[in-house]
Structure 1
């Protein structure tokens, strides 16, 4: 948004309906991924001939996973223990303020601060009825970048670094101790604890250029350092972390746009994220994807209206099971997404 001309406000809303299911020990997980919205709200203005400012709200990370009640990891092995399902919810909201300083020759530098709010809850019945609920925590990171533009051919290349953000989460953990020795069945032990987590650093390379009259080629490469994200509450029973990642990811997109009339332009976009082939967590049972999307933008006086639809083929994955020899298989999964954006010029 920092590259918009003049002063503008922008609102974007996406909706995704995923279908993600698998089996463990012959038991169907059900569709574990709930549908979700991705909002974005921003304001950009020109402070001086050389300096631009933008402030944006978005939700950069999130999770909403829920399994069937009879799934092996939804079953509490403790006699008389509480019942539930394997599920996880995580919400991340961020406000980012950016400055862009324009040098001669089409070059510019970008810098800013991000304030991020995180909260989460996870239930793992197979781990002695384990539950954890965190309070919301706000922490800060930063954004740095460089860009080059040549308006005559609609060319622009930008490279942006987003720092990791460290959160100290206050949380309540609870589980069912094994009955016996004076502990009655159904007892719930509760602990007030804290954990440090880091949302991962990332790098974005975005580019566009005119390749023919009224034709624009555009794309991006995004790297996310997922191994930085480790969540290991002190009372989680297994020896492994509750949430962790072994591999970083690269996500690629490439699109072609065409200006059909002075008011209307259309585009088609392809996307691809690398798969690792390694076992993943049941709290995120996917491994890479490819996607195809189509969209269009209609300009009317000071407003631009954009809308699009995207189909995503979600990569097959093998998830950790209830023991060293038990693995869950997730395959044949996909998602449909729709979205719209309104950009309005204030000057």
Structure 2
């Protein structure tokens, strides 16, 4: 028990470093899933965390591959060959954990696991592909564990469920203002929303006196089989078309390891797989259509992702009874396959934890990283074409993140 208390501050700083290090992962990941609060040794613990991420992806050498599809010098989208593609975002999380007797712990939390915000604007030559896309999510979860003695430590069985809401929109140039029949600025907009349930299961083994913990947690996909929305062409031809579709959010599997390596020193790491390859070209069809496919879709979202891998490693140190710190490095494999900007990301993170009393912890961490360069253009994946309307390149760009956290124990 003594060693468990000694390492507690280090674990807090390490947790926050790894949390924000995953905030710029591939696909549509923002906060992702995190159940570290479940392992807090207190009877009751409440934690609130906020992460801000500022990616700086800049598109260059853009070329309209088909000038007949809506761009041109006489309307929106006929201008710049460069664009600032990404927008900064917040990833909040709040949770409460309670112990039930000596063996059961339960956690309830709210988070925003998925999201995206690309806004290259209306005055670049790729406006017929995208002027603004935004995706948001809300996740409400309950997770419990049962632990019992096995050998020198404790084995913990983990299970839970979560309810997820996903919404968003995409705007792009359909036909430029001034073309025959165009009623306004020529921008079309797709609005969508859906919801569904998921579940998680896992196992962990802990030896508190050595600050050793190994956990393996699987999070299921969420079947958004009731996505509804509209294709708004009121600025093009006056039409507003109700649409529907379906899509599954990715399932994931994460292995986390940590162990004391010397007095007041801790090593930690994780490996995570995420099934982003589920997100390819997603069709949306007019309400009333008997079945929805790419062949009868009103419009579609083009993603063309491959599976994601995220690997993190780091070291934490307890300086004294109040202060601890940690550093980490993270590699995230890009999910794009020649279409889009989701290339490999490298992040260097550092965090500090301050514990003014045994009941309160305050943590601050930051990260700086590189979004590796590449290009996007026309590709064919599994017989389906992507990126035929615009091509562009991008160099290595910076991403920065900062996280703050407050934990109160009872």
- TM interval, short-chain normalised: 0.7 to 0.9
Out of 355, 366, 390, the position equivalent to 1:299 is: 355
Out of 212, 219, 232, the position equivalent to 1:174 is: 232
The SS at the match of 1:90 is strand
Aligned residue number for residue 346 of structure 2: 290
Deviates more, 1:240-249 or 1:210-219: 240-249
Q: Tell which has more relative contact order, 1 or 2 (C-alpha 8 A, sep 6+).
A: 2
Deviates more, 1:28-37 or 1:124-133: 124-133
Aligned residue number for residue 283 of structure 2: 232
The change in CA–CA distance for 1:45 and 1:12 in structure 2 (over 3 A counts) is same
What TM-score results when the alignment is normalised by the length of structure 2?
0.74
Aligned residue number for residue 278 of structure 1: 337
Aligned residue number for residue 205 of structure 1: 255
- How far off its partner does 1:239 sit? 10
> Equivalent residues in 2 for 1:67-216 (5 A)?
67-75=120-128, 86-105=131-150, 106-126=154-174, 129-134=187-192, 136-167=193-224, 168-175=226-233, 186-216=236-266
What TM-score results when the alignment is normalised by the length of structure 1?
0.87
Aligned residue number for residue 183 of structure 2: none
Which structure 2 residue ranges, 5 or more long, are not aligned? Answer: 1-36, 65-79, 176-185, 287-293, 379-385
Aligned residue number for residue 2 of structure 1: 38
Aligned residue number for residue 37 of structure 1: 90
Aligned residue number for residue 327 of structure 1: 391
Aligned residue number for residue 25 of structure 1: 63
Deviates more, 1:34-43 or 1:67-76: 67-76
Q: Give the Cα separation in 2 of the matches to 1:306 and 1:275.
A: 29
Q: Give the Cα separation in 2 of the matches to 1:326 and 1:263.
A: 54
- Superimposed CA distance per residue, residues 69-126 of structure 1 (whole angstroms, 9 cap, x where no aligned partner): 22222159xxxxxxxx611011111011001000221111100001101111011215
Q: Give the Cα separation in 1 of the matches to 2:361 and 2:87.
A: 31
Q: Give the Cα separation in 2 of the matches to 1:257 and 1:273.
A: 21
Out of 273, 290, 295, the position equivalent to 1:223 is: 273
Which structure 1 residue ranges, 5 or more long, are not aligned? Answer: 77-84, 177-184
The change in CA–CA distance for 1:161 and 1:122 in structure 2 (over 3 A counts) is same
The SS at the match of 2:126 is helix
CA contact (8 A) 1:280 1:317 kept: no
CA contact (8 A) 2:50 2:405 kept: yes
- How far off its partner does 1:14 sit? 0.7
- Superimposed CA distance per residue, residues 221-260 of structure 1 (whole angstroms, 9 cap, x where no aligned partner): 1111001134322378999941333410100111100111
CA contact (8 A) 2:370 2:399 kept: yes
CA contact (8 A) 2:285 2:297 kept: no
Aligned residue number for residue 101 of structure 2: 48
